[in-house]
Structure 1
Amino acid sequence: MRIPIIRLISTQFWKQSLQNKAVLFLLLILSLLFAFAAYTGWEDYKIQEDIRTEHQTEVRQQWEDKPDKHPHRMAHYGYLIFRARYPLSFFDYGLERYMGSSVFLEAHKQNTVNFSEAGFSSGMLRFGEVSTAMILQTLIPLFIFFLGFSCISAERENNTLKVLISQGAAWKEIFAGKIIGLLGLVSMVFIPVMILSTVIWFSLTGFKGAFDEFLRLVWIAAVYLVYFFIICSVCVMVSAVSRTSKSSLVKLIGLWLLFIIIIPRTAQAFGAYLYPAPSKIDFDTKVENELVKTGDSHNPKDIYYKGIKDSLLQAYQVKTTEELPFNYSGYIMAEGEKISSGIYNRYWQKQLDIYEEQNSVNRSLAFVNPFQAVKDLSTALTGSDFNSYISYQEQVEAYRYQLAQLMNKLQMENISNKKQQENDKPYTISRDHWKELPDFQYRFITGNQLFQNEITSLISLLLWTLGILLCLYIMSKTIKIN
């Protein structure tokens, strides 16, 4: 292919498009939409993080300020955790509105993450929000189709295509020139968007952003560039095989509806139909029924825990629990917590397996729908995907278990085994022990783990790119002028 010819065709297409006032108007509208999305994303993240930081500090202070208490009472007093958002989530909201913002931690019970914004919103939220990613994924393809639906079909209608071919231009050069011209027009919006996103990221992190976050921004830019290349190539190929510009436009609009609207919605419903997940009530009932079979750690006469008591007395060669070198009730609470957490985690893993099977339907469709691949990668790179939510829940449960077992340990070590009389002062320990509970530190998914989770999307984009290049090569050999 001759670079000067490709440059000439792309430059001519670029200039002709910019002479169209409708194109300039669309560029202005898209710019305003991106500015609005960037501002609302920045404001939403900043407000949410300020509120989270303020309340998390308050919760910690209230925990440490609690007076001398019995450790088991503190375990049931509980702790409140507010979910931290990834700094790049302003770019792509993903599941942010559905994840919930806080979870209450207490002994013997696993609570769900509550107070999602979707729960307080109208049904309009399901149609999506104006985020930077949403515009790039759904509106930019429409913009590309509007610009390029007649890029070759119009020349066929005007008989200028014959002149172009007769002057020595090859089909490969025509395809390359039109695709590069379309990408150039898209870059007029996309490059400023990525620069603005980088500035917002720096602002939200106090200009102390981690290198991993910057690397994710680079990956986001690369993913969307590949996506736009695929869309531009499809647009040019459809225009090349269409005899009229009208038929080309109808085909492209049909493709947009199919890949952006119909397939994703159908896949979600189909996944839920193939792999139905139990409701929260069913899940809680199964866990509760299993717990009943293993006994009640709060009941001193429980048969199961009586067996533990007998084995302890035999092991320490004593006759009563008061003679044990540690607090017996604290030991039983620790055992009960270990058993109940194991049961919950087992059922929760089964629930996750069902969700994974549901998501696999969507994920597999990335091989036939590049929009799905880009959507999955975008939410993963911005920390607003399903895997990030599950990782958060797992870390919160681990922290809840740590809290409960720390209180049980304090009870075992600091509370007397001697039974209290009616007028005795309740057993307590110093409030200084509350500081032994470390702050909750949420660890975001690492880059390596992220790409392991999204390997299907990466492979599908690679296959789409190779497939597009192959189709362009074949068409350049077989397509006819008329």
Structure 2
Amino acid sequence: MRIHIVRLISKQVWKQSLQNKAVVFLLMILSLLFVFAAYTGWQDYKVQENNRIRHQMEVRQQWEEKPDKHPHRMAHYGYLIFRPRYPFSFFDYGLERYMGNSVFLEAHKQNTVNFSEAGFSTGMLRFGEVSTAVILQTLIPLFIFFLGFSCISAERENNTLKVLLSQGVKWKELLAGKIVGLLCLVSIVFFPVMLLSAFIWFSLAGFYTTVNEFSHLLLVTVVYLAYFFMICSICVMVSAVSSTSRSSLIKLIGIWLLFIVIIPRTAQAFGSFLYPAPSKIDFDTMVENELVKTGDSHNPNDIYYKGIKDSLLNAYKVKTVEELPFNYSGYIMAEGEKISSGIYNKYWKRQLTIYEQQNSINNSLVFVNPFQAVRNLSMALTGSDFNSYISYQEQVEDYRYQLAQLMNKLQMENISNKKQLPGEKPYTIGRDHWKELPDFQYRFISSRELFQNEAASGLSLLVWGVGLLFILHFISKKIKIN
């Protein structure tokens, strides 16, 4: 393959396209859309993050300023956590609008993340949002198809294809030149968009980032470049094997609808049909029914916890709980928390298994549809995917359990076992103990875990890239001039 011939053909594609006023107009529209998407994403992140930080500080201040109380009352008073967002999520909203923004933490009870934006929105949200990733994933392929649907079929119709090939141009050089030319046209808007996104990301992160975080930006760029190469290759191949430009355009629009609309929606619906998940009410009912079977830690006469009481008295060789070297009620609350958390986590893991089975339908189709692979990788690298949400919920539950057990520990160590007489002041501990609860620190998914979760999507892009190169090599020997 002669590089200078490929370069010459790509320049021809470049010049012919830019001489078309419709193409220039579309480039301007896409550029404005990208600026709008980047600006709204930037502002949305700033507003939400500023609100989160302010409200979280207020919650912390209110917690620490609570007066002297009984620790168990503080455990039921609870704590409020607001979900932080990954700075790069302005690029790809992913599941952000459906994840919820805050969760209330209290003893003996696991609450869901509430106040998602989807819950306060109309049905129009289902049609999608204007984000940088959505434009790159859905509109840029349409733009490429518009540019390249006639790149070879038109030359066949105009009888200029015979002239090109008779002058010594090889099919491989012609196909490669057309693909490179289309990629260069896409690069007019793509690289400025990525530079703008990088600047916004660094500004949101306070112009401080780690090598690990910077690698996410580079990987996003590589993923979308690979995606555009696939789209350009498909476009050129369809145009090469089509007898007319009209049939080429119809085929490409059909491919776009199949890849972007039909397969993803069908996979999602099919997964939910094959593996139906219990509703929120059903899930809570199952947890509550099993909790009832294990007894009530707040009931001193409960049969199950009476057995714990007897074993404690035997172990410490005492006759009454008042003689124990720690607060008996605090110990029982801690045991009850272990039991209730264990039951909840058991059913939660079952629920996650169902969700994973539903998602497995979509994940298995990444080898059929590169759009789904790109979408999965884009969401994962910007921290707006399903796995990030699950990681957040698990960390919140760990923090809630830590809060409840800290209050139980304070009760065991600082509250007397002696029964209070009528009229006596209720047992309390000093407010300084509330500061012992550490702040919640959310840890985003590590790169290693991210790559493990999206190994299939990454492999899919590799298979598609190699496969398209092989197909290009094959059809370059089989395409007919007429």
- TM superposition score category, shorter chain reference: over 0.9
Q: In structure 2, the residue corresponding to 1:477 is in which secondary structure?
A: coil
The CA deviation string for residues 359-401 of structure 1, in whole angstroms up to 9 with x for no partner, is 0100111100000000000000000000000000000000000
2:216 is aligned with 1:224 = no
- Give the distance between the partners of 2:208 and 2:378, measured in 1 at CA: 22
Question: How big is the shift at 1:4?
Answer: 0.5
User: Shift in Å at residue 422 of structure 1?
Assistant: 1.3
CA distance in 2 between partners of 1:468 and 1:186 (Å): 19
The two structures, once aligned, show a CA RMSD in angstroms of 0.4
**Per-residue Cα deviation, 1:123-171 (whole angstroms, up to 9, x for no partner):** 0101110000000000000000000000000000001000000000111
Alpha-carbon offset, residue 206 of structure 1: 1.3
1:153 paired residue number: 153
Q: CA deviation at 1:478?
A: 1.0
Residue of structure 1 equivalent to 2:341: 341
Aligned runs of 1:262-281 on 2, under 5 Å? 262-281=262-281
Q: 2:188 is matched with which residue?
A: 188
In 1, Cα distance between the equivalents of 2:143 and 2:11? Answer: 19
AA of the residue aligned to 1:65: E
- 2:64 paired residue number: 64
**1: distance between equivalents of 2:383 and 2:319?**
56
TM-score relative to the length of structure 2:
1.00
**For the residues of structure 2 that align with 1:16 and 1:293, how far apart are their CA atoms?**
76
* Contact 1:201 1:209 (C-alpha < 8 Å) held by counterparts: no
Give the Cα–Cα distance (whole angstroms) in 1 for the partners of residues 421 and 99 of structure 2: 48
Contact 1:326/1:417 (8 A) holds in 2: yes
Aligned to 1:23: 23
Distance 2:180 2:363 in 1: 30
Q: 2:413 matched to which residue of 1?
A: 413
Matched AA of 2:268: Q
For 1:62 and 1:140, the matched residues in 2 are separated by: 49
Counterpart residue identity of residue 459, structure 1: L
Q: Where do 1:63-462 residues align within 5 Å? A: 63-462=63-462
Letter in 2 for 1:247: S
In 2, the alpha carbon distance for the partners of 1:175 and 1:422 equals 93
Per-residue deviation at 1:212?
1.8
Any gaps of 5 or more consecutive residues in structure 1? none
SS at match of 1:478: coil
Deviation at 1:210?
Answer: 2.5
Q: Give how far 1:443 is off.
A: 0.2
Shift in Å, 1:421? 1.2
Counterpart secondary structure, 2:476? helix
| 1:233–1:468 CA contact under 8 A, matched in 2 | yes
Aligned-pair CA distance for 1:78 = 0.3
Q: Which amino acid aligns with 2:392?
A: Y
| C-alpha displacement of 1:214 | 1.3
Q: CA deviation at 1:189?
A: 0.4
TM-score when normalising by structure 1: 1.00
For residues 70 and 153 of structure 1, the distance between their equivalents in structure 2, rounded to whole angstroms, comes to 80
- Distance in 2, matches of 1:317 and 1:363, equals 59
Structure 2 unpaired stretches of 5+: none
CA distance in 2, matches of 1:422, 1:480: 101
Tell me the secondary structure at the aligned position of residue 426 of structure 2: coil
**Matched length:** 482
**In structure 2, distance between residues paired with 1:47 and 1:209:** 21
- Distance in 2, matches of 1:188 and 1:69, equals 64
In structure 2, how many angstroms separate the alpha carbons of the residues matched to 1:258 and 1:90?
27
Counterpart amino acid of 1:187?
S
Task: Give 1:4's aligned residue.
Answer: 4
State the distance in 1 between where 2:194 and 2:267 align. 30
1:57 partner amino acid: M
| TM-superposed deviation, 1:209 | 2.3
